[in-house]
Structure 1
């Protein structure tokens, strides 16, 4: 993993876990199908959150631009 993106990736994992746990608690149903569906949705939401925050941080100049990251 790239060092500048490590905190962002860790934040995305924490966000995914918290979002999934909140949705499970809010729905009140703990059937296996419901847990699997919310787990998949949580993974999608976490990935989208990561991509959106990475794009925003690159725009703000807080992360190196993609072409500079490989050097």
Structure 2
């Protein structure tokens, strides 16, 4: 795990947890199926948020560009 990405990854985890908790509270149903679906969706949203923020921060020059190890 590279150091410049550590705060971004921690932020994505916090965003995922908050989004999932908010959706569970908003839905009002705590059945096991609802919790499983919202947990899966929360992980997907957190990952997409991480990729979008990483792309934007790289584009703005606040993060180093992603280097392809095959090159």
TM-score, with structure 1 as normaliser:
0.93
How far apart in 2 are the matches of 1:67 and 1:25? 40
Determine the structure 2 residue equivalent to 1:57. 57
Unaligned runs of 5+ in 2: none
- Once the two structures are superposed, residues 42-61 of structure 1 have per-residue CA deviations (whole angstroms, 9 ceiling, x without a partner) of 00000000000000000000
Which structure dedicates a bigger proportion of its chain to helix? 1
Determine the structure 1 residue equivalent to 2:29. 29
The answer as to 2:22 corresponding to 1:18 is no
Determine the structure 2 residue equivalent to 1:38. 38
How far apart in 2 are the matches of 1:43 and 1:32? 17
How far apart in 1 are the matches of 2:51 and 2:33? 27
Q: How many residues align?
A: 68
Unaligned runs of 5+ in 1: none
TM-score, with structure 2 as normaliser:
0.93
